[in-house]
A and B are shown apart, each in its own frame.
Chain A
Amino acid sequence: MVGEFSGEFGAASIRGGARVSDAWDRSTAGSFVEELFAKHHGEIYAYLLRMLRDTELAADLTQDAFVKAYRNYDALEKPENARAWLYQIAHRVALDELRRRKIVRFLPWTGESRGAAPSAEHLVMDLRLSGDLQRALERIPERQRSALLLAELHDLTGLELAAALGVSHVAARALLTRARESLRQALAAERVADAAADTGRSTDSSAPPAAGRLGRDR
């Protein structure tokens, strides 16, 4: 998949092949992005929501992703790759946001003040995930989480997944394997913690076993 995308979000430079457009044509780009939006905005929004767990932020970043698709329209070589290309953009946008959160010392908002951020409980309902699974997903590295979501929930092919993640096929496969293992361990830890809390054997529910990030992917 390397070499099909270029520009701001591409993993490599263009290597041959017919370009969608040789010239920057705003009108064409606008129409193309509008069509992309109609087809894919729901899944892009869902992906970003699952990554970031913030409905308003997911909407904002979905908007960002399509604006960047418009801006980088001429970097798309093959229209048939547009979906994976969009996911690649969304993936980068999500990682940038997660990285930025760390930099600005983002702390989860607890909902006591005025504002529109939804509670964790609402998000779980929105995402229709079990609490254990949601927490476990939160604990695995972002790139692994992204790989899992894209493969299992968004049904990306191997090629598309590699393209969206900006890595080689082999690396994408390895990442997915590590993600499954990380999620398994995280789920096990969550359930042990739940069991301990239920039985009262643990007085410190804030320190579940194996707390913290799993794996080495960021």
Chain B
Amino acid sequence: MSASFPRRPRSWNSPHDRARVRTSERLDAPLDADEAAWLDAHLADCGGCRAVAAAYEAQRLELRTLRDQGPVPPRDLWARTAAAIEREAAGSAAPARSRGSRVPLLRRVRPSPIPLGALSGVLVVAVVVGASLLGGRPSPAIAPTASAVVALHSQAPSTAPRLTPIPVTADLGWMRVGPQGQMSVYFSTVDEVCASSAARDCAPIEEATPRNVTLPEPPRSVVLSPTASQLVVVEANTSSGTGGTVYVVPVPTPPGGAASPTPVPPPTPIPTHTGDTATSAPGTPPPTPTPHVTVGATIEPQVPPPSPTGSAVSPTVPTGSAGSPTPHDTPTPATPSPASPTPPGQREIASNVVVVGETAAYSPDGTWFAFSARPAQGGEGPDIYIWRSGDARAEPITTDHRSVFSGWLDDQILGSRAVFEPRLDGAGESAAGGFAGRSFVIDPNTRTETPLDGVPGWRPTVDPTRRLAIYWDGSLEFDQATSEWRPSTGRLVIGRWPGATTPSPSDDATSEPGTARPSAPASARTTPSASSSVAPSVLPDILQGGAVRDWEARWDETGTRLAVWIADDSDPSFGRLSLYVVDPATGRITADPPLAGELALPGYSIGDGRLVWATPPRQNGQGSRVKVLAWTGTSFGSVETAPGNEQAVVIR
């Protein structure tokens, strides 16, 4: 042993303690004569200490026998390291990458923050700027005016407590469910949050005057359109046994707001590009929200839908399906009955379905809305549905009952399909095979499906820079009770996204064995220049091993903040939410996540420097709190609403 150390006199708790320490030290270097003599004398009389000395020697010998039997590093380790060093050198010389240009969901219009206490006074202005303020982009007809800005700056200063405030700009919206189905819609803006140490004492978010919507059933999730003109509301209907309904509801204005005489949003023309534009055609008056919205409860009779024109395959459903399913079995596409009580301004775009998961989302340009759903009856699995803004009904674009919507890749739908693999890698499934996820993209306009060979896992959620993805790496099983595909054995990981990457020399030098480049459509190959800066060999990172009943992962617009909600094993109606910071250089999660395992309902919102979620109602009758974690640079802080009496659903 060569680890010799200088010694200094010390006091001992007991002679045995001294003997143990000196025994250890003598393994590293000879003791001085006096101490060696003392130790020898003590060991001669102390059987216990001799046993300790023998044990030290034995374990040392066992360890030292391995000195010359070191494991062999991978042969390509230098190639990988050299490539990483080259990227490091290039990265240090290159200018900092600018943030993505994607407009956040709820970007504010006003140029500077205002105190929380002034928000109530701002509401009159908020009515005027309404949708544009919420949507992050000015509507052509109601762009913010100079007077609005002046009014914002003229508000009285806040009187709220100001404990360690961190200035942020965070817009958020949520619904609270009343006992009679009355929905109160709240929108608010948070300008300051409190550091974690003071969050408990932070003044709560002021809940502005609610805007009312009446729904027949409480919503399970609510999605705001990119134009902020409408909400897609997914019912949590299980009481009627006929499945839930998906509604499109105009964003209500607050009481006293200007009501439109024609509250129905006009059919939205398809934008000709995917840029940051509203869905309304130039010169078309924007949809004007109504002050109060009522949604009918009648489930409309179903009409066979137009057949999808895509190439979705229809393999045999592994279990629970009687006969070969067809799109016509699915209940969704139907023309609303003229007798429908659904009031003008609202659309029932799907009914008699059970929406699967929380991945439902608008396309970036707001033209399409995609979600996963299964029939309320029949035990069939899910398919992907899309609805074009302005159309009467959503349509399924897969028919195999094994497909789910994972997210949008620019203007393409990214989906996952459960497919049977005769032989899965790994020990557990090798004999009988099993189901695993395969990804694909679908062009919503042509319904053309393109497989993404080599894209790993089930339900990948790709970051905005197309470098990383969260996905389930493992097998799947069909849950008879819920008629849904769910993870079986495996792990939830963050890994390199091989789809839609443009080949580069550095990529080739560092590509992982067995990771094939997918055949992605041209429109999906929008890799940013920074993609080659990710060190792929360090991935995947395991986010959650073992059983995962369900999860919900979302990135912020920069691709550096990742929120992951993981359902509770026993009760998936709530789960744990974490926010991770992802190192853009390595693609790895950094230590000390700003949020780790907070109790949360599904359906959170992330983007524009904030994460918003709702806590589950408590058993004491206390309702949900809406919580905000916001950040500016590396500073994180939080604030929350006071608990109401009802459950809250975050608008995302």
> Interface on A for B, CB 8 Å cutoff?
26, 30, 33-34, 37, 41-43, 45-46, 49, 55, 58-64, 66-67, 70-71, 96, 99-101, 103-115, 119, 126-130, 133, 148-149, 151-153, 155-158, 160-162, 169-170, 172-173, 176-177, 180-181, 183-184, 187-188
A158 adjacent to B28 (CB under 8 Å): yes
> What 9 pairs across the A-B complex have the smallest Cβ distances?
A112-B428, A113-B490, A113-B474, A107-B545, A112-B489, A46-B70, A173-B5, A45-B73, A60-B538
A106 adjacent to B542 (CB under 8 Å): yes
B56 adjacent to A152 (CB under 8 Å): no
CA distance A130 to B448 in the complex (A): 56
Q: Which residues of A contact B59 (CB under 8 A)?
A: 133, 180, 183-184, 187
Determine whether B523 belongs to the interface, using a CB cutoff of 8 Å to chain A. no
Closest beta carbon of chain B to A206's beta carbon, Å: 15
B2 adjacent to A103 (CB under 8 Å): no
Q: Which residues of A contact B29 (CB under 8 A)?
A: 158
Which of A100, A110, A151, A162 is the one whose CB lies under 8 Å from B489?
A: A110
| The stretch of B140-148, B296-304, B590-598 that contacts the partner chain | B590-598
A45 adjacent to B473 (CB under 8 Å): no
Determine whether B222 belongs to the interface, using a CB cutoff of 8 Å to chain A. no
A176 adjacent to B3 (CB under 8 Å): yes
Jot down 7 A-B pairs with beta carbons below 8 A, ordered by A. A96-B591, A113-B491, A129-B66, A153-B64, A177-B24, A180-B56, A187-B59
Which of B7, B21, B77, B593 is the one whose CB lies under 8 Å from A41?
A: B77
CA distance A152 to B64 in the complex (A): 6
B489 adjacent to A113 (CB under 8 Å): yes
Smallest CB gap from A43: residue in B: B70
Q: Which residues of B contact A30 (CB under 8 A)?
A: 85, 89
| The stretch of B114-122, B236-244, B341-349, B419-427 that contacts the partner chain | B419-427
Q: Which residues of A contact B473 (CB under 8 A)?
A: 113-115
- The 8 A CB mask of B536-553 against A (1 = contact, 0 = none) is 011001111110000000
Chain B interface residue count, CB cutoff 8 Å, equals 75
A151 adjacent to B1 (CB under 8 Å): yes
Q: Which residues of A contact B436 (CB under 8 A)?
A: 114
> If the complex has contacts A96-B591, A113-B489, A115-B491, are A59 and B71 also in contact, measured as CB distance less than 8 A?
no
Q: Which residues of B contact A45 (CB under 8 A)?
A: 70-71, 73, 77
> If the complex has contacts A70-B88, A104-B543, A104-B580, are A114 and B3 also in contact, measured as CB distance less than 8 A?
no
B66 adjacent to A153 (CB under 8 Å): yes
Determine whether B60 belongs to the interface, using a CB cutoff of 8 Å to chain A. yes
Smallest CB gap from A149: residue in B: B63
Q: Which residues of A contact B5 (CB under 8 A)?
A: 158, 162, 169-170, 172-173
Determine whether B84 belongs to the interface, using a CB cutoff of 8 Å to chain A. yes
B3 adjacent to A113 (CB under 8 Å): no
A105 adjacent to B2 (CB under 8 Å): no
A177 adjacent to B21 (CB under 8 Å): yes
CA distance A111 to B237 in the complex (A): 38
A110 adjacent to B428 (CB under 8 Å): yes
The A-contacting residues of B in range 545-564, CB under 8 angstroms, are: 545-546
Q: Which residues of A contact B1 (CB under 8 A)?
A: 151-152
Q: How many A-B residue pairs have C-beta atoms within 8 angstroms? Tell me.
A: 212
A155 adjacent to B535 (CB under 8 Å): no
CA distance A173 to B6 in the complex (A): 9
Determine whether B62 belongs to the interface, using a CB cutoff of 8 Å to chain A. yes
Determine whether B352 belongs to the interface, using a CB cutoff of 8 Å to chain A. no
> If the complex has contacts A114-B426, A151-B28, are A161 and B71 also in contact, measured as CB distance less than 8 A?
no
CA distance A34 to B77 in the complex (A): 12
B474 adjacent to A67 (CB under 8 Å): no
Closest beta carbon of chain A to B492's beta carbon, Å: 10
Q: Which residues of B contact A188 (CB under 8 A)?
A: 55
Smallest CB gap from A187: residue in B: B59
Q: Which residues of A contact B475 (CB under 8 A)?
A: 112-114
Q: Which residues of A contact B73 (CB under 8 A)?
A: 41-42, 45, 59, 62
B541 adjacent to A104 (CB under 8 Å): yes
B66 adjacent to A127 (CB under 8 Å): yes
B4 adjacent to A66 (CB under 8 Å): no
Which of B6, B60, B88, B590 is the one whose CB lies under 8 Å from A71?
A: B88
Q: Which residues of B contact A105 (CB under 8 A)?
A: 543-545, 597
A100 adjacent to B589 (CB under 8 Å): yes
A103 adjacent to B596 (CB under 8 Å): yes
B3 adjacent to A157 (CB under 8 Å): yes
Determine whether B81 belongs to the interface, using a CB cutoff of 8 Å to chain A. yes
Determine whether B99 belongs to the interface, using a CB cutoff of 8 Å to chain A. no
> If the complex has contacts A128-B69, A170-B8, are A37 and B81 also in contact, measured as CB distance less than 8 A?
yes
A103 adjacent to B63 (CB under 8 Å): no
Determine whether B429 belongs to the interface, using a CB cutoff of 8 Å to chain A. yes
CA distance A155 to B424 in the complex (A): 42
CA distance A59 to B535 in the complex (A): 12
Which of B2, B66, B88, B544 is the one whose CB lies under 8 Å from A107?
A: B544
B62 adjacent to A112 (CB under 8 Å): no
The A-contacting residues of B in range 46-64, CB under 8 angstroms, are: 52, 55-56, 59-60, 62-64
Determine whether B97 belongs to the interface, using a CB cutoff of 8 Å to chain A. no
Apart from A156-B2, A172-B5: 6 A-B pairs, beta carbons within 8 A: A45-B77, A62-B81, A63-B538, A64-B538, A104-B580, A156-B3
CA distance A187 to B60 in the complex (A): 12
Determine whether B80 belongs to the interface, using a CB cutoff of 8 Å to chain A. yes
Which of B20, B71, B425, B593 is the one whose CB lies under 8 Å from A181?
A: B20
Which of A59, A115, A119 is the one whose CB lies under 8 Å from B490?
A: A115
Q: Which residues of B contact A151 (CB under 8 A)?
A: 1, 3, 28
B55 adjacent to A187 (CB under 8 Å): yes
Smallest CB gap from A174: residue in B: B21
